[in-house]
Chains A and B, each alone.
Chain A
Amino acid sequence: MTRSLNELRPVYAVGIGWHRYQNPSETPYVELGLTAIRAALADARIEWPAVESSYVATALLGMASGRPMLRHLGATGAPLMHVENASASGSTAFRHACIEVASGISDVALAVGVDKRNPVRRSDTGIGHLAEDAIVPFTHFALLTNEYSVRHNASAEDIARVAVKNHRNGAKNPNAQRQQERTLDEVLGGKRVSGSLTALQCTPIGEGAAAVIVASEDGIRRLGIDAGRAIRTTASVGRSERVYPPGAGFDAALTKETADLALAQAKLAPKDLDIIELHDAFTVEELLYIESIGLCPEGRGVRMLKEGALDIGGQCAINPSGGLIAMGHPIGPTGIGQIGEIVMQLRGEAGPRQHGGARTGLAHMVGVGAVCYVHILQK
């Protein structure tokens, strides 16, 4: 018989840390990663030797980048593995760190994501294509924007409001790559990229790092970690794309089935969610995914957005960190940074971007391929 994460022993996020997401710089990845890990250790108030296992999420650093970074914390001999799962690399690393602790193999594990903006290299499958070289991610999502606009009679302004909200949230986040509020005119008037998408509606791929330390109840007791600041992971689900009916958007369909499983695992309904951190690499995605997660019926996302229901302080704060659009998307760190944001919010430590009374948060990432990962954390 198989079991889900929350049927194993409880696992808690006990330490979070970042190196700010930023434009590409000369800073070596080692410094980015160490900054995030040391911040997470300090947050948990534990020392590096307490960490029994490390999962290093990175998509663009190449082979075996973890040990040259981790050795500077003191080479304890603890196992480490690298996780590459496209944009969901960080989410996947977090899932496996949780599974290792929940299974009882370790009491304390680290998930750290670190990346630099290096070229993406994908191997040839041997199957030809008509024009995929002309269809980069922003055009994939420009096509989805066009479909969403026509199907739901949503204007370019309606969709661009996602970026206005997320830039506003990012302006309050010291770890965000973009920390500037933007008006609707600024968002719409920016450089046009593909279809109706403008530059401020697209994630700025940059660099950075994020770390989360997870622990069991035994680990928390043994190390004297403050249990009052520990946030439990109550659901973890990973899925990959199936064959959907012709014309169905796979990103939304895959998100729906993954989120449905995670909500069932945590025995929650969409209305129970206070915070969602989701993969808003492009504005239209936020509308597609809140509808897939079940926050509102299909096509009603714009109305929620305009009513302020998705704002910090609204019905459910979507991307209070600023999301991929404003906080940024350095690939490896992104999914781990989402977990850190939810932990901060559920602890009540999010300062000027605190969503009052937050008790339940959901983190969602998709990655090309396609894969989808959803986690739920609860106070």
Chain B
Amino acid sequence: MQPSKLLKPGLYSEGSSDREGATVRLKGGRCRCGYVFFPMQTYGCERCGSHGDALTSCELPANGTLLAEATVHLHADKNRPAPFTIVKVALDDGPVIRTLLADDSAPVAPGQRVTGRLAAVGQSESGETVLDLRFSIAS
């Protein structure tokens, strides 16, 4: 097995593996007021303004319901060639996130259950496989 590394280790970690591959735990936060957010930050709670010890890290499974999808046909950034598909997902724990659909995913539609997994997106300079979060239809 090739050595690998996460593209954005500050935002997610590798969870347990199933036959579809590695699941993902998102690094979210929870405020004393009950508000759950992503990603974790310590500046202050958007709902109540509490900061410091009021905010604690929590792991959010990358499972949720698709709210919307859009395939981008034109994108100015050459590092991210179009087409690619953006998904808006309501995580089961509350936060709504927007990120990329897996390139090999079947087409998705609002209301479907989706899961985030780690997908190979390139090679690091030292030869490791770089893994990033991608969503696809939940198995």
Contacts and interface: CB of A to CB of B under 8 A. Distances in A.
B66 to A, nearest CB: 10
A194 B71 contact: yes
Interface string B60-76: 00000001111111111
Interface stretch (B14-22, B51-59, B82-90): B82-90
A146 B98 contact: no
Contacts of B119: none
B110 A246 contact: no
Contacts of B84: 134
Q: How extensive is the interface on chain B, given as a class?
A: 35 or more
Contact of B74 (A129, A134, A143, A193): A193
Contact of A130 (B67, B77, B98): B98
Given A130-B98, A132-B98, A143 B90 contact: no
Contact of A146 (B35, B41, B68): B68
Interface in A129-184: 129-136, 139, 142-147, 150
A174 B109 CA distance: 42
Nearest to B97: A130
B8 A246 contact: no
A139 B77 contact: no
Nearest to B93: A246
Contacts, number: 88
B10 interface: yes
A264 interface: no
A63 interface: no
B110 A146 contact: yes
A246 B39 contact: no
A143 B11 contact: no
Interface string A107-144: 00000000000000000001111111111100100111
Interface of A: 126-136, 139, 142-147, 150, 191-195, 243, 246-247
21 contacts: A128-B8, A130-B11, A130-B97, A130-B98, A131-B100, A134-B80, A134-B84, A134-B86, A136-B76, A139-B86, A143-B67, A143-B88, A145-B70, A146-B68, A147-B68, A150-B110, A192-B74, A194-B73, A195-B69, A246-B94, A247-B90
Given A134-B80, A150-B110, 13 more contacts: A128-B39, A132-B98, A135-B98, A139-B72, A139-B86, A143-B69, A147-B67, A192-B74, A195-B69, A195-B70, A243-B35, A247-B67, A247-B90
